[in-house]
Amino acid sequence: MGLLVPGDNRLCQEAMEAANSAYAPYSKFFVGAAVRLRSGVVVRGANQENAAYPSGLCAERVALFAAGAQHHGHPIACLAIYSPSLADPLALPLPCGGCRQVIHETERHQQSDIKILLVTKDHTVYIAHNSQVFLPFPFVLP
């Protein structure tokens, strides 16, 4: 599915560390994400649940939205996702449908693909070169 480039292993580690910041008292499903901007800046995100469901937010969206808010106009090159909560050590921490749409729209807005690194519990990394792998038919406004 591709090769890791310099910095990818570090981004995977950032996603693993971000999972420690997850607030998941209801689902007990902890997820960490980290994005690397083209400039090299890394922004972390972790899922944040709330008793007033659906007020929580997934790790991927936390990271993507934080990067957009804190580094407006700086394109995202790569996104790493990790969950220590998956029972199978080889299970992929796949983004939910909402996150898939947000990744797609971020790519469209910045007019470039985002490489996605899925890190399993055993630290195997699967690479997708853009969101289309996960969302072949995105919602698109004219």
Cβ neighbours for 96, distance < 8 A, ≥ 6 positions apart: 58
Peptide bond into 54 cis (omega under 30): yes
- DSSP bridge pairs for 76: 37
| Active-site annotation holds for 14 | no
Q: Which residue in 14, 17, 49, 60 is the catalytic one?
A: 60
Active site residues: 60
